[in-house]
Structure 1
Amino acid sequence: MPEEVAAGIERLLGSRVVDAVSQPGGFSEGVAARVRLASGGCAFVKAASALTAPAVAAFHRREIVISRRLPRTVPAPRLLDAYDDGVWVALIFEEIPGRLPAQPWRRDELERVLAAVTDVVRILTPSPVDEALLGGLRLGGWVALANGAAGIENAVAKRIDALSPWAACHLDELAALEESAAPALAGRTLLHGDLYPFNIMLTAERVFVVDWPHAWVGAGHCDVVTLLASVSLSGMDPQPIADSHPLTRGLDPVQIDAVLAMHSGFLLRSAASAGPQADRNLVNMMVALGLASLRWLRDRR
């Protein structure tokens, strides 16, 4: 980080940074660090340059807007301040002295997280953030593949065929689910839009949901469905959990199927479209989560 940017962040913090520890994991380019201040305080800082990581900088700007509008009752880190000089964008959050959930999932931690997500849906319905301030919906991909002409979509389709022969044989069915998904996704809840274990922090007493740039407004069950889709990677069957969870147990099956189709389409098409410069950890994660959603959908149908 350039010295003048670090100095600008220190001015917002009101104290000199005497120690900064980069945080492991995550998939975004840029700084992610817990900092200690000469004043004795602490904070979490994440930052990116619009010159070297334009998409991440754009996400940071959107997250600033969203975080400033989240009610204090939402279990999310409080945004203390933000820095934006037109190139570098930084968010300064209160530090959460917690850790990521264990992976594979521990059942007790999963239950804590599911209870917290239920509370978040209650607090964020109706959405406190105007939809015009949010980004585009990061769901869907099967329709584009089904309608793809010669060229990139055909190449992507071949990669997906190799990942999931079942998807290749059911492409028309998946595209039809996607095309009719709008009623199943409609709602008034501000959803996180990227609810996976790596965006959750656990303390001894609380569950925090972090990283909100992909928030969108829709049906309250959507985040729970995408989170549950990931539990099969830990050897758990998501269906019994969905059958008992208050946000999913009474739903028309099509409402869950539509989310799984849209979710798997986005992840697998994005992963199959990734170029050679893409972060392979990110691509592998998207493939694993996309296939997990697809397996659950296949079993349900």
Structure 2
Amino acid sequence: MTVPRAVGVRLPYAEVPLRVRDWVDDALGSPVSSWEEQIGGMSPGCATRVVTADGTRAFVKAVGTELNSDSPMLFRREIEVLGLIGENTLWASLRASYDEGGWVALVLEDVPGGHPDLGDETEMADLLAATDRLVATLREVPVPDGARATTIAEPGLIDVRARFRAWASALDHLAEIPGDLVPDDVRRDPARLRRLVGLLQEGDTQLTHWDVRVDNLLRPEPGRIVFVDWGAAGVGPSWSDPLLARFERVEDPWFDESVARSPVLAEAGDDVVTAFLVAFGVALAWQSTQGPSDIGLPTLNEFRRTQARRALTAAARRLA
């Protein structure tokens, strides 16, 4: 089975401030009588399936600034996006939201089931088909005017191309990154890397989930995949979600074969896919060398190193 790679250290529901838990009871119309903590994801806040005294089921996530100063903004972004996109069987719908005193909380539809096994051909095929439907559905959502976030902690939808530009700046530090993170086939031609990464600024844009990974997927029944956790949602190229959906197997030649079979990725071109892997991998590798892990996220740096190695191993294969 595939298991969530981004395993943070989460706050138990019983330790969420009483005022927030009282709000959950009011939002659901009945007091919470039992709950089950969920793993996966990097937020230090709670991620909890709850059941109320009258049998109502819901999913609750809550975080405060004292746990991590940036995480509440991700929750605010998720509230904004779920309000924008409404209800659909492709994602869990928002039932209520809370934002007071430095704490942000969401009550969401409880989607039964666990994460898909993306090592299973059928379940991976279900994800790829669902991602294509997601891209088509989000393409029809009008993107509001206004500020675009250039970092994860700013208000507004993530400007994906601004993130690409930030990633590209990590190439300036390529020689400083430890050798165990960046293969020689990636290091040997920095000028080629810069030309490739420049391609990421081209093409169309639309609303994107921008965080498609196994932690953020549920499989309530055979043939159905539900996308959760919209805190990183942004405006970016249409190929970004289909590429991320395949990242689970990025070390395997299957990845390259699957990219070639995807109309949206084939249209973007092989060089764009390779450029993404280079930029993403080098940026994560460089971030992982910059001091201690973020407050409340003690496993984040190891996650960055793992994902950097995976992306750059694939990039080296494609560059060669």
If the TM-score is normalised by the length of the shorter chain, which range does it land in? 0.7 to 0.9
Aligned with 1:247: secondary structure?
A: helix
- C-alpha distance in structure 1 between counterparts of 2:176 and 2:188, whole Å: 12
Name the Cα RMSD after superposition. Answer: 2.3
Correspondence for 1:93: 108
The gaps in structure 1 that reach 5 residues or longer are 148-152
Structure 1 residue 237: Cα displacement: 2.5
- C-alpha distance in structure 2 between counterparts of 1:74 and 1:273, whole Å: 40
Structure 1 residue 284: Cα displacement: 2.5
Correspondence for 1:258: 275
- C-alpha distance in structure 2 between counterparts of 1:160 and 1:237, whole Å: 28
Structure 1 residue 211: Cα displacement: 0.6
State whether residues 57 and 89 of structure 1, in contact with CA within 8 Å, keep that contact through their aligned partners in structure 2. yes
Taking a change above 3 Å as real, the CA distance of residues 47 and 142 of structure 1, as seen in their structure-2 partners, is closer
- C-alpha distance in structure 1 between counterparts of 2:298 and 2:193, whole Å: 26
Correspondence for 2:81: 66
Structure 1 residue 125: Cα displacement: 0.8
Structure 1 residue 65: Cα displacement: 0.4
**Aligned with residue 312 of structure 2, among 281, 291, 294:** 294
**Aligned with residue 164 of structure 1, among 138, 161, 182:** 182
- C-alpha distance in structure 2 between counterparts of 1:165 and 1:179, whole Å: 21
Correspondence for 1:144: 169
Correspondence for 2:301: 283
Write the mapping of 1:236-275 to structure 2, written as runs, cut at 5 A: 237-275=254-292
Which residue type is aligned with residue 210 of structure 1?
A: V
- C-alpha distance in structure 2 between counterparts of 1:13 and 1:274, whole Å: 42
Aligned with 1:24: secondary structure?
A: coil
**Aligned with residue 193 of structure 1, among 188, 196, 210:** 210
Q: Which has the higher contact order (CA 8 A, sep 6+)?
A: 2
For residues 157-204 of structure 1, the C-alpha deviation after alignment (integer angstroms, 9 at most, x for no partner) is: 533433114233343432332234200xx3232111111111111111
The gaps in structure 2 that reach 5 residues or longer are 1-15, 147-155
Aligned with 1:51: secondary structure?
A: coil
**Aligned with residue 179 of structure 1, among 198, 203, 208:** 198
TM-score (normalised: structure 2): 0.82
For residues 235-289 of structure 1, the C-alpha deviation after alignment (integer angstroms, 9 at most, x for no partner) is: 5630111111232234432232232233223332333325156645332332222
Correspondence for 1:111: 125
Which residue type is aligned with residue 27 of structure 1?
A: M
- C-alpha distance in structure 2 between counterparts of 1:90 and 1:157, whole Å: 42
Aligned with 1:161: secondary structure?
A: coil
Q: Does 1:123 pair with 2:137?
A: yes
Which residue type is aligned with residue 199 of structure 1?
A: N
Counting aligned pairs with the same residue, the percent is 25
TM-score (normalised: structure 1): 0.87
Aligned with 2:117: secondary structure?
A: coil
Which residue type is aligned with residue 67 of structure 2?
A: T
Taking a change above 3 Å as real, the CA distance of residues 226 and 173 of structure 1, as seen in their structure-2 partners, is farther
Correspondence for 1:150: none
Which residue type is aligned with residue 169 of structure 2?
A: A
Return structure 1 stretches of 4+ with deviation > 6 angstroms.
Answer: none
User: Which one is further off, 117-126 or 138-147?
Assistant: 138-147
Structure 1 residue 121: Cα displacement: 0.5
Correspondence for 2:229: 211
Structure 1 residue 82: Cα displacement: 0.2
Correspondence for 1:226: 244
Q: Does 1:22 pair with 2:37?
A: yes
Q: Does 1:47 pair with 2:47?
A: no
Which residue type is aligned with residue 79 of structure 2?
A: I
State whether residues 170 and 282 of structure 2, in contact with CA within 8 Å, keep that contact through their aligned partners in structure 1. no
Taking a change above 3 Å as real, the CA distance of residues 26 and 142 of structure 1, as seen in their structure-2 partners, is closer
